């Protein structure tokens, strides 16, 4: 225990197990040891510990980290409150009572706040790198599917034709927005809490600028009270994970649809599908379904921490120990889901001709035909009604745009001529798009080139 002088009895074993955070804040062991090493270096620099004591502490901390990595140090949750007390206990075992000097001028409050910022900084880099890898996979797929026509949907009803490349690039943009959200958090954690103490700083002349610089921060925090109670950056991290999972869940839903017998647009690799215990023919998109399902737990983690913090007075309260589990879990869930989705799409097979004939006989080009009428001078609302009547005529006579003759079109409106029939050619539909941001193949190729240029520049 890091406390106990004013207590007659030791903490009850059940109470210790209930209150211990060791099972999850073990994730902070590397950060905690790093912070302790830098803190001891600062204590030596300002003369609060001797060079011999400094060297003993450094050697002991290095040994603890090595033993943990080599799995020679087995930690038991029923023995320690947290990773900080476990490390100090182990350090005392290795170098004796000199280990107690390491805690000079610091509290677990500022220690854990610093640990968490360092951990978040580390995992943010990992997430941003994986998002970039995922974007590259999608851009590569898009480059190979610029001419692959699929139906675009609104209200889950067929609306207008797009290319599969165009659809994939929409997710590339989503992933870029995710990256920016995570990057923004990096700007929130540029100040170092170490040296804030429990809530009111220290009577020692601690060199907070030294420790901040050594740990890679821009500067020390300015208000000790806020430093130890601030968890806003964790809420932003959980929010970024939630939005990221929402994007993955939407994609997972589409992967499930695309791989169904009704769509037959893609075939997932056997490495990322499962079978049925009853039906031999089944090939189930379970990994996509699990990604969709895990989104709920990430949402729950965000709400959990919001609820924990909403009624807490400043500064530190033990409730705040509950910040770590949801953060660690959301990172693990989001990162693993993103990796699975990336690998699924990396190995997917796409049936490029799947919709070509089917859409030729569909009504997806109704808007193109209405636009043709507008060019001929008819107001759009009138053109909309004319094409609507044409669609109704086709439905009443069991016909499609691919079956209807020019005479039949002219029976609806005399303005129709042979050039109107070109508007009903699915193969040239995308080339007719003119606006920036549309699925015109030239514009899509330009988007792809721009993304590749951006990736190469980083």
Residues identified as active-site? 155, 276
Let me know if 102 is exposed, middle or buried by CB neighbors in 10 A (0-12, 13-18, 19+). Answer: buried
Q: For the residues of 144-158, what is the DSSP string, one character each?
A: T-TT-EEEEEETTEE
How distant, in Å, are the alpha carbons of 41, 124, 245, 294, 330 from that of 298?
39, 16, 7, 7, 5
The DSSP string of 12-46 is PHHHHHHH--HHHHGGGHHHHHHHHHHHHHHHHHT
Give the position of tokens 């001529």. Answer: 417
Angle at the Cα of 272 from the Cα atoms of 266 and 274, rounded to 5 degrees: 100
Q: Per the structure block, which two tokens stand in for 255? A: 């992967």
What is d(CA 64, CA 93) in angstroms, rounded to the nearest whole number?
Answer: 11
Q: In whole angstroms, what is the distance from residue 171 CA to residue 248 CA?
A: 9
> Is residue 315 reached through a cis peptide bond, with omega within 30 degrees of 0 on the bond before it?
yes
The answer to whether 98 and 36 are in contact (CB under 8 A) is no
Name the residue with tokens 């675009």: 152
Per DSSP, helices labelled H in 320-425 are 324-346, 356-360, 366-375, 380-396, 406-412, 418-422
Q: For residue 301, give both structure tokens.
A: 């983690």
Rounded Cα distance between 75 and 83, Å, is 9
């Amino acid at each position: 225990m890091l406390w106990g002088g004013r207590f007659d009895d030791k903490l009850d074993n059940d109470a210790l197990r209930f209150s211990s955070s060791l099972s999850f804040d073990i994730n902070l062991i590397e950060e905690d040891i790093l912070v302790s090493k830098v803190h001891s270096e600062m204590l030596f620099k300002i003369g609060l510990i001797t060079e011999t004591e400094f060297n003993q502490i450094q050697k002991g901390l290095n040994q603890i980290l090595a033993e943990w990595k080599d799995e020679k140090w087995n930690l038991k949750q029923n023995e320690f409150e947290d990773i900080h007390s476990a490390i100090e206990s182990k350090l005392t075992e290795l170098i004796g009572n000199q280990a107690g000097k390491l805690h000079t001028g610091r509290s677990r409050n500022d220690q854990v706040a610093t640990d968490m910022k360092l951990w978040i900084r580390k995992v943010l880099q990992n997430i941003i790198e994986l998002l970039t890898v995922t974007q590259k996979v999608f851009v590569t797929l898009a480059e190979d599917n610029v001419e692959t026509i699929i139906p675009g949907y609104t209200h889950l009803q067929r609306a207008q034709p797009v290319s599969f490349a165009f659809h994939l690039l929409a997710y590339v943009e989503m992933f870029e927005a995710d990256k920016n959200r995570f990057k923004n958090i990096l700007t929130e954690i540029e100040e170092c809490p170490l040296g804030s103490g429990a809530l009111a700083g220290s009577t020692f002349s601690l060199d907070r600028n030294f420790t901040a610089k050594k740990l890679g921060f821009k500067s020390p925090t300015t208000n000790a009270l806020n430093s130890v109670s601030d968890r806003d950056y964790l809420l932003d991290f959980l929010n970024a994970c939630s939005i990221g999972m929402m994007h993955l869940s939407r994609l997972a839903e589409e992967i499930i649809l695309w791989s169904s017998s009704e769509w037959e647009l893609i075939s997932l690799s056997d490495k990322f599908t499962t079978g049925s215990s009853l039906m031999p023919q089944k090939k189930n998109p379970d990994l996509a379904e699990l990604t969709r399902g895990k989104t709920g737990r990430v949402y729950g983690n965000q709400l959990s921490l919001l609820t924990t913090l909403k009624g807490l007075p400043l500064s530190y309260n033990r409730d705040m120990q509950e910040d770590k589990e949801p953060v660690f879990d959301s990172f693990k869930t989001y990162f693993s889901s993103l990796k699975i989705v990336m690998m699924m799409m990396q190995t997917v097979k796409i049936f490029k001709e799947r919709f070509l004939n089917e859409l030729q006989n569909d009504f997806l080009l109704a808007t193109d035909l209405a636009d043709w009428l507008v060019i001929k001078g008819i107001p759009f609302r009138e053109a909309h009604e004319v094409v609507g009547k044409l669609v109704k005529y086709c439905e009443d006579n069991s016909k499609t745009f691919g079956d209807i003759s020019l005479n039949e079109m002219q029976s609806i409106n005399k303005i129709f001529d042979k050039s109107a029939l070109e508007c009903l050619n699915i193969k040239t539909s995308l080339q007719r798009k003119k606006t920036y941001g549309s699925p015109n193949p030239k514009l899509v190729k330009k988007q792809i080139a721009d993304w590749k240029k951006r990736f190469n520049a980083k």
